[in-house]
Amino acid sequence: MAVHVVNEARRCLECKKPKCVEGCPVRTPIPQMIALFKEGKSDEAGRLLFENNPLSSICALVCNHEGQCEGNCVQAKKGMAVHWSSIEDYISEKYLDRMALQKSPRLHQSVAIIGAGPAGLTISITLAQKGYDVTLFDSRDKIGGVLRYGIPDFRLPKTLLDKYQKRLREMGIHFRPNTSIGGALHLDDLFRDGYEAVFIGTGVWRPNTLGVVGESLGNVHYAIDYLVNPDSYELGENVIIIGAGNAAIDVARTVIRHGARRVRVCERSMKAAASERELDYALADGVEILYGMNTVKITPEGPVFRQARFDGNGEVAELGEEQQFHADSTIVAISQGPKDKIVSTTSHLETSRKGLVLADSEGHTTREGVFASGDVVAGAKTVVEAVRYSKQVAAAMDEYLTGKRMEKAQAKA
């Protein structure tokens, strides 16, 4: 690994106007990081990476690099982009193991973070480093959210998330597992107990449905539920996944690893939403990918499709006859929406028609002191997009809390 990473670093041209940085949602200063690494200053490079993106170790593994940083690399035009993801993985994980934690003096202001996924982790780390007392609530037993319960271990090792959980403790962040806000505790209880600001980053855990006959049958499951604990499912040897986003591909590759002999991904359009790299891995694993498959219904024998024929503009020209596809199990993977437990138990917190929390570009919701970002605001997006948005929200929360602190000081004067 080290030799490969060093060789990749040497290929970087350190462009004055780096296209790779422009392609990165969080504007990672890639040439600067590579220059420090080549100078033997990997700890300094790791520190800058962490400050720019607290989840850099994770993004190095799960980002759509060919569509972002690496896809914009000048070297890609000549044949092969610099494999920045491998360099980032090497630098950031090494730094995560060795980092010397630095925190500002305590500000004696408490913040509640609801949801331990990408958005919640980013906000927690950022505010804890600024000196705020942070408590992180999550309905599950460990941190990570979709990172732990929605991405397979072969793509994102759970040991990496365990390292983050250890670091959170060292930062003084309190973690309350198995605690759903909107259940025994409500959002109003948090303000009652002295939290001056609350962040909602609960993600999207309610599967979107096809709305076809047969969706409640015993041989039908939803991708987001399956990925939480694949070991609890007995799917058989012949499995069909409806949808072709990254979650669908994660399901397909996981099903293969759990013993299925034939796995087909059936996508309605003529193009998959999953990244090219993930599609390549799926094909290498033996997954079949079929396009233009419009679901009519699902039967005990498997789904029934009508296959589309597309015209030159990519529009559906016509649909073929109904075809019964045989499968032991069918998994629906057409994205997710938010659950409404917090919203239904909280006053003055507005949502969109899809149930997403309404928030502005800085995360302010319709209730004072309550902020939100990540998938619960924008719908199912990528990890790095959640980090980008959450950095803006953390800055807005810091500004809000600073104002509250000044108000208290003036009241005492």
- Residues linked to residue 331 through DSSP beta bridges, in sequence order: 221, 241
| Residue 339 belongs to some domain of the structure | no
- With a pLDDT cut of 70, the percent of the chain lying above it is 97
Query: Is residue 104 one of the residues assigned to a domain?
Result: no
116 assigned to some structural domain: yes
What local confidence, expressed as pLDDT, does residue 344 receive? 63
- Looking at the structure, tell me whether residues 199 and 260 fall in a common domain: no
Q: H or E segment at 20?
A: helix 19-23
CB atoms within 10 A of CB 328: 16
d(CA 324, CA 304): 4
354 lies in the same domain as 330 = no
For residue 389, is it within any domain? yes
Point out the domain boundary residue: 67, 98, 129: 98
| 217 and 251 belong to one structural domain | yes
Decide: helix, strand or coil at residue 147: helix
Domain co-membership, 358 together with 296: no
Closest of 92, 94, 115 to residue 26, by C-alpha = 92
Cα–Cα dist 202/359, whole Å: 14
Residue 374 is predicted with a pLDDT of 82
Residue 127: closest CA among 379, 373, 357, 411? 373
Same domain (yes/no): 200, 211:
no
User: Residue 341: what pLDDT?
Assistant: 60
Strand-by-strand arrangement of the 293-299 sheet: 293-299, 302-310, 316-324
Same domain, 69 and 82: yes
Mean of all residue pLDDT scores within the chain: 91
User: Is 364 part of any domain?
Assistant: yes
* Paired residues of 144 in beta bridges: none
Q: Tell me, what CATH number does 81's domain have?
A: 1.10.1060.10
Q: Are residues 129 and 163 in the same domain?
A: yes
pLDDT-derived band of residue 353, with 50, 70 and 90 as boundaries? Answer: confident
Q: For residue range 193-211, what is the model confidence (pLDDT) as tens digits?
A: 999 999 999 888 888 999 9
> Does 197 lie in the same domain as 224?
no
CB 104 within 8 A of CB 127: no
Measured distance CA(206)–CA(343) in Å, rounded = 14
Q: What is the reported pLDDT for 314?
A: 78
> Domain for residue 326, yes or no?
yes
Record the tokens describing residue 147, joined without a space.
């990172």
Are residues 136 and 117 part of one domain? Answer: yes
Q: Is residue 103 part of a domain?
A: no
User: Distance between CA 100 and CA 104 in Å, rounded?
Assistant: 13
Helix ranges, 177-245 (H) = 187-192, 223-228
The answer, yes or no, to whether residue 18 has pLDDT greater than 80, is yes
CA-angle at 73, arms to 69 and 78, nearest 5°: 150
Q: What token pair was written down for 126?
A: 């950022």
Domain boundary among 334, 363, 381: 334
**Burial grade of 271 (CB within 10 A; 0-12, 13-18, 19 or more):** exposed
Whether residues 212 and 329 share a domain: the answer is yes
Name residue, tokens 């959210």: 145
Distance separating alpha carbons of residues 331 and 291, to the nearest angstrom: 16
Give me the CATH number covering residue 261. 3.50.50.60
Query: Is the model's pLDDT at 338 over the cut of 70?
Result: yes
In the listed set 315, 334, 353, which residue is the last one of a domain according to the structure?
334
Q: Determine, yes or no, domain membership for 184.
A: yes
Q: Which two tokens stand for residue 318?
A: 């016509």
Identity of residue 351: T
Band (99; pLDDT cuts 50, 70, 90): confident
Domain interval for residue 316: 207-334
Please tell me the predicted confidence (pLDDT) of residue 340.
Answer: 61
**Could you tell me if 393 and 283 lie in one domain?**
no
Number of structural domains the chain divides into: 3
Cβ atoms of 46 and 92 closer than 8 Å? yes
263 and 306: one domain? yes
Tokens of 394: 């953390």
- The stretch 287-298 carries a mean pLDDT of 96
Residue 363's alpha-carbon distances to 123, 203, 342, 351, 393, in angstroms, are 11, 14, 16, 13, 5
Please compute the mean of the pLDDT values over residues 321-328 and round it to a whole number: 96
